[in-house]
Amino acid sequence: MIYTELTIRAMKVAYEAHHGQVDQTGVPYIFHPMHVAEQMTDEVSCCAALLHDTVEDTSLTMDELTDMFPPAVTRVVRLLTHEVGVPYLDYVRAVARDPVARAVKLADLEHNADQTRFAGCEVSQERLAYFREKYAAARTILEEADDGGDV
């Protein structure tokens, strides 16, 4: 994690936005964006990682984020926000065109694909297989992309 005034602001915003939410295993949701942010190597990607699910999964809006963060951060968060009606792999292809968004999404997928997180939870083998296939397809798209945006 990179600690700067901006990343600390992003931590606080993400914490407040996800307050009270839990993931599929019952763990406080904030641990997910924190884990993703821990994988980042610069201020912008760290902020984007912390905020990557806020617009999609909380009441926070892009307009509110735009008032709090510079365009370098909000541009990436906008790319990482999967809009309703957009097929998942089309969304991933759009993310793949941006190196910062791609780095955050790869870390996000890595954490989401860690099925040891489901230890002690009742999750069907079919559901786990669905996640494995979904995340593997997305990871392939992201890993095959180059910085020129070719996928």
Q: What does CATH list as the number for 5-144? A: 1.10.3210.10
Query: Of 56, 83, 114, 133, which one is the catalytic site residue?
Result: 56
CA-CA distances (angstroms) from residue 39 to 74, 105, 113, 121?
Answer: 19, 11, 15, 26
pTM of the model as a whole: 0.94
Q: Is 83 a catalytic residue?
A: no
Look up tokens 């791609």; give the residue.
102
Express each pLDDT in 71-105 by its tens digit: 999 999 999 999 999 999 999 999 999 999 999 99
Each domain of the chain, given as residue ranges in start order, spans 5-144
Average pLDDT over residues 126-148: 90
Angstrom distance (rounded) from CA 7 to CA 103: 17
Query: Of 5, 16, 43, 57, which one is the catalytic site residue?
Result: 57
User: Angle at Cα 73 formed by Cα 134 and Cα 13, nearest 5°?
Assistant: 90
Q: Is 57 a catalytic residue?
A: yes
